Structure 1
Amino acid sequence: MAKSTYKVYGYRWVILIIFMLISFVIQLQWLAHAAVERPAEVFYKGQFNPDSFFNIDFLAMVYMLVYIVMSIPASYIIDTYGIRKAIGLGAVIAGVSGLLKGFYADSFEMVVIAQIGLAIAQPFVLNAVTAVTVRWFPLRERGLAAGLAILAQYLGIIFAMLVTPAFIGTHPGRPDYGSGFPHMLMTYGWLTFGAAVVTLLLLKEKPPTPPAADDLVRHSFFKGIKHILKQRDMVLMIFVFLVGLGIFNAISSMTDSISANLGVKDSNGLIGGLMLIGGVFGAVIIPALSDKYRMRKRFLVICTVGALPGVLGLSLTGYFIHNPAVVYDIALASAFILGFFIMSAGPVGFQYAAEVSYPAPESISQGLLLWIGQISGLLFVAGMSIKNNAYLNDWMILFCILMPVVIALTLMTKESPMIITEKDKMKGEIGG
């Protein structure tokens, strides 16, 4: 009788694909200018002060700035009104803002306004990853489902890094340098609008019966916050994401500046692109292994240790090697390594946080981790971009110092009690 209480539905994969689609376009819009920062400065020349806070980098920073304000309200709406209404609201805002950005692509001021709209939409989607997985997926599939959901975010960023330069004249000295922005933003605008329509039409709140027992009991929103902040391992995860996610956000937002710092003249987006490609592989492989072996902590430790060489390679290579071609090759390899490990830590960390903070709503635990990472990312990007990137090297060295701290904090956590229970259940089923 108990077995019939819970059921897994095939439509869960449709829900996941829809969620991946809207996640993809929102992240694509985030970094649409990041890989082509220098050509963008030419296109929008005279519309902003390059030495001020209100510059091209602001288009990436505004996502983090708005997230800090909107994360908790978005998590509250997800928890109170459900994923269909919350994600649907985010989709509507994103669809309208994406088109606005395309229609007024030649006005930097209007692009900023549209970017603020997209930034408002972001937490209604990003904060819902674990809320979607817990409503539709059994525990044994949630790491993989979260990995695929976050994979879509990475694919959106990869698209921004590698495809955007194809729309833009990126080679200095050529007559078309800095051209192509209206066509690029209009194309991305229609993609975003289409994804919003699909989301509104096909997204459902939850299946007729839950996929597992843990879907049945949850704290209220505010009680959940109090519960989360009392959990030692959740507090440790907050500090892990404060540094780790902040570093990822900063490097993702500043890829063209990092390329320039390495002596790369062409804004081809390869450093950012390879970091994201590495993340795509990592986001599929690491969470799937975490599910298979019923381990969260061990794979989080692997991710943080593995990310360290990537940060070191992007930061310190130029100090020891003076051949520009070799420096660039090492930077590309380092970007891939960094992406593979630091970006696969995201879905495993989100699922770990949801498990150690149960029965608090998943939107709160995930929202807090993203929120703290956006704060640090914003501060990192602001520091790196001040005075036309005068202190970028210093910040990269600081990241090298901070990564061992992240490793130490991860080692201090305990394994998820929920995943241990699930592992014991599986052993029992096999033994029976």
Structure 2
Amino acid sequence: MVEVKLRSRWGAIAAFAVVGAATQLVWLNFAGVTTVAAERYDVSESAIGWLAQVFPLLYVVLAIPAGLILDKWFRSGLIFGAVLTALGALLRLVGDDYGWLLAGQILASVAQPFVLNAVTGITGRYLAEKDRPTGIAAGTASIFAGMVIAFALSAILPKSNDLPTMLWLTAIFSVIAAAWLIVALRTPGEHKPLHHRPDRNALKIAWSDPLIRRLCVLAIFPFGVFVAMTTFSQALLEPAGVSAGTASTILLVNVVAGVVGSAVVPVLVVRHHAEAALLVASLSFTALACAALALWPGQAMAFIAITLIGFLLLPALPIVLELVERRTGEAEGTAAGLIWMSGNLGGLLVATLVGLLVNHPKPAFLVMAAVALIAVPGAQALRRPIATLNTPN
């Protein structure tokens, strides 16, 4: 009997990548223009911050249900997320006021777990095993690419009168992304057996793994710092003389550095089995960089510190997700959901705290430094369980 070698279907990964980018674009549309948006819609900067914070809030609530749905009805769940993202982006165009913006953000935030939880699932279904680490890196990079687009739009369209144009461009992008994914997923992936169906104990299977539990706890801290930084850095840097356009450019460079880091760092880390070392180094440097921003705020320091944070901190995400994909099989959607849920819980908590300090930049940056520093011992403690995972059976 001749063995049939299934080919990887990269078209499905590309379509997923565009949808992943759309979710981040909708999420962070206002991160680089917080002050300008607050003036246009006659609300506080904290209210504009909630246009982003509603995403981690609802992710915490929906991460596990979305993971369970993806484990059982993968294509339908992912397409639902893509379509709902587009509808949320379109809803923001109904009226030029804060209420319609918030309604659209809430709708899109419901969609986000159905998309991001699918990073490991789509690679397992549409790629051969040898291509899956690359697929996870590509899918994760698309998330960062969406952030790049968001900050680029903020830098190009930084004025109050530019905001409607930004919203229209985001809606068009999201609709095209959803349509592409629907076409790309018209047939199921062939790389998981057709009879594969996780049982109702998927959550128990994922949570019973001690490594997954440790990764969930750890994810709270770097996610928290990153969400707070992207949501409020423009407002926090403004008193130091950094304009909205410059802040958007800084955030753009930050995520571009993260994309570059995600393409280079994980390859070296996996090759040398240095996953825990990378997590320790990235958290330690993030703490130092946030402390530097508290003590010596300014345009030059912001460019240096935030760019290096992006290069070292963002590659931690594909590394963690690759560990999850290797560790779990039948419950990978639920396991990924646990990681994302924990990270977004951290984002919600830290961003809320930083939002309360938005008019006091020094304490706000010191809070982010402390959050990163607290996580260093936990990252160090992962060396042994990750080493066990890296040891061939």
TM > 0.5 fold call: yes
Q: Is the 8 A contact 2:283 2:373 kept in 1?
A: no
Measure, in 2, the Cα distance between the counterparts of 1:66 and 1:369. Answer: 14
Q: Which residue in 2 is equivalent to 1:301?
A: 277
Measure, in 2, the Cα distance between the counterparts of 1:275 and 1:157. Answer: 10
Q: Which string of whole-angstrom CA distances, capped at 9 and with x for unpartnered residues, describes residues 325-360 of structure 1?
A: xx421221111111112111001101212323x245
Q: Does 1:289 align with 2:268?
A: yes
Q: Does 1:68 align with 2:24?
A: no
Q: Which residue in 2 is equivalent to 1:383?
A: 353
Q: Which residue in 1 is equivalent to 2:233?
A: 255
Q: What displacement does 1:379 show?
A: 1.5
Question: For 1:408-423, what aligned pairs fall within 5 Å after superposition?
Answer: 408-413=377-382, 414-415=385-386, 419-421=390-392
Q: Which residue in 1 is equivalent to 2:85?
A: 94
Q: Is the 8 A contact 2:294 2:365 kept in 1?
A: no
Of the structure 1 ranges 400-409 and 90-99, higher mean CA displacement relative to structure 2 is found in 400-409
Q: Which of 394, 402, 406 lines up with 2:375 in the alignment?
A: 406
Q: Name the aligned partner's letter for residue 317 of structure 2.
A: G
Q: Which string of whole-angstrom CA distances, capped at 9 and with x for unpartnered residues, describes residues 369-416 of structure 1?
A: 1111111211111111126x1354324223323334323212222226
Q: Is the 8 A contact 2:30 2:37 kept in 1?
A: yes
- CA 1:185–1:263 in structure 2 vs 1: closer, same or farther (change >3 Å)? same
Give the number of equivalent residue pairs: 390
Measure, in 2, the Cα distance between the counterparts of 1:411 and 1:216. Answer: 40
Q: Which of 32, 36, 41 lines up with 1:39 in the alignment?
A: 36
Q: Which string of whole-angstrom CA distances, capped at 9 and with x for unpartnered residues, describes residues 224-248 of structure 1?
A: 3223323222221111101111111
Q: Which of 281, 287, 307 lines up with 1:336 in the alignment?
A: 307
Q: Which string of whole-angstrom CA distances, capped at 9 and with x for unpartnered residues, describes residues 116-170 of structure 1?
A: 111111111000001111222344432221111111111111111122231232x
Question: For 1:18-417, what aligned pairs fall within 5 Å after superposition?
Answer: 18-45=15-42, 48=43, 50=44, 55-82=47-74, 84-104=75-95, 106-169=96-159, 178-204=160-186, 206-210=188-192, 219-220=198-199, 222-268=200-246, 269-290=248-269, 293=271, 295=273, 298-319=274-295, 321=296, 327-356=298-327, 358-386=328-356, 389-413=358-382, 414-415=385-386
Q: Percent identity?
A: 21
Q: Is the 8 A contact 1:311 1:338 kept in 2?
A: no
TM-score, normalising length from structure 1?
A: 0.83
- CA 1:217–1:419 in structure 2 vs 1: closer, same or farther (change >3 Å)? farther
Q: What displacement does 1:9 show?
A: 1.2
SS at match of 2:354: helix
Measure, in 2, the Cα distance between the counterparts of 1:314 and 1:260. Answer: 16
- CA 1:230–1:261 in structure 2 vs 1: closer, same or farther (change >3 Å)? farther
Measure, in 1, the Cα distance between the counterparts of 2:276 and 2:186. Answer: 32
Q: Which string of whole-angstrom CA distances, capped at 9 and with x for unpartnered residues, describes residues 105-126 of structure 1?
A: x121011101111111111100
Q: Is the 8 A contact 1:240 1:406 kept in 2?
A: yes
Q: Is the 8 A contact 1:300 1:348 kept in 2?
A: no
TM-score, normalising length from structure 2?
A: 0.91
Q: Name the aligned partner's letter for residue 240 of structure 1.
A: L
SS at match of 1:180: helix
Q: Name the aligned partner's letter for residue 101 of structure 1.
A: R
Unaligned stretches of 5+ in structure 1? Answer: 170-177, 425-432
Q: Which runs of 4+ in 1 moved over 6 A?
A: 215-218
- CA 1:148–1:261 in structure 2 vs 1: closer, same or farther (change >3 Å)? farther
Q: Name the aligned partner's letter for residue 124 of structure 2.
A: V
SS at match of 2:189: coil
Q: Name the aligned partner's letter for residue 134 of structure 1.
A: G
Q: Is the 8 A contact 1:300 1:345 kept in 2?
A: no
Unaligned stretches of 5+ in structure 2? Answer: none
Measure, in 2, the Cα distance between the counterparts of 1:392 and 1:58. Answer: 18
Q: What displacement does 1:216 show?
A: 8.2
Q: What displacement does 1:31 show?
A: 0.6
Q: What displacement does 1:318 show?
A: 4.8
Q: Name the aligned partner's letter for residue 177 of structure 2.
A: A
SS at match of 2:67: helix
Measure, in 1, the Cα distance between the counterparts of 2:333 and 2:361. Answer: 34
Q: Which residue in 2 is equivalent to 1:173?
A: none
CA RMSD of aligned residues (A): 2.5
Measure, in 2, the Cα distance between the counterparts of 1:226 and 1:36. Answer: 42
Q: Is the 8 A contact 1:314 1:331 kept in 2?
A: no
Q: Is the 8 A contact 1:91 1:199 kept in 2?
A: yes
